[in-house]
Amino acid sequence: MEELRPRVLLCVSGSVATVKVPEIAVRLSETAEVCVVLTKSAEFFLQRAKDYNPVAWEVFFAATQLPDGGQGRIAVVRDEDEWEAWNVVGDSVRHIELKDWADVMLLAPMSANTLAKLANGLADNLLTCVARAWIMTKPFIFAPAMNTDMWNHAITAKQLRVLDEFGYKMIPPVEKKLACGVVGNGGLATVDSIVTFTLDQLRQVSLID
């Protein structure tokens, strides 16, 4: 009998740091089943990953599909997939299926815009609909990535407190040279730290050894 593996829902919002998503997804897929949820903005930045890290992109792309065109070991879903299978009451609704399927939700990178949406309960795309329906007995992890001034803004601090009250677990951003050219805090945490933190959460709920 094939061993059951934990299920990670890797949700991706619009940030230049999305170029690191192929590396994160591939690393996590070594231990878990991975489904990537992309916002419209994240789709745009994900395409830039081809140039940022061509090797990681090729491995990621190959893992998303089989030679016969079927679904590979990493699934990818987009906003337009939300209602594709729904016609009448009783049909499947994608955001409900995804929140039921996943053992852990990892939002990386989380943009300032998506932070604001989650803190205020908005559900205007597939990602935020999953988050709005998420059962909080399961781990919800987020890794912010934004400009230093946005990160240091009082609104950001207030919204982070709300997520903390919800029980969400943050992987803090790091200081680095950001896409705007400024050196400061707000950069996405390293791939290693994101993967390690996520696996630690799976261990805490006894889904991996």
Q: Domain boundaries in the chain?
A: 7-204
Q: Could you list the active site residues?
A: 180
Return the residue matching tokens 């878990």.
Answer: 32
First-last CA distance in the chain:
19
DSSP letter (8 states) at residue 15:
-
Ranges assigned E (strand) in the chain? 7-12, 33-38, 74-78, 104-110, 140-144, 169-170, 174-177, 183-187
Query: What class does CATH assign to 7-204?
Result: alpha beta
Spatial separation of the C-alpha atoms in residues 23 and 5, rounded to whole Å: 19
> Is the pTM higher than 0.85?
yes
Spatial separation of the C-alpha atoms in residues 135 and 194, rounded to whole Å: 21
Please report, in tens digits, the pLDDT of each residue of the chain (209 residues total). Answer: 456 899 999 999 999 999 999 999 999 999 999 999 999 999 999 999 999 999 999 999 999 976 555 567 899 999 998 877 666 676 678 999 999 999 999 999 999 999 999 999 999 999 999 999 999 999 999 999 999 999 999 999 999 999 999 999 999 999 877 777 777 788 999 999 999 999 999 999 988 98
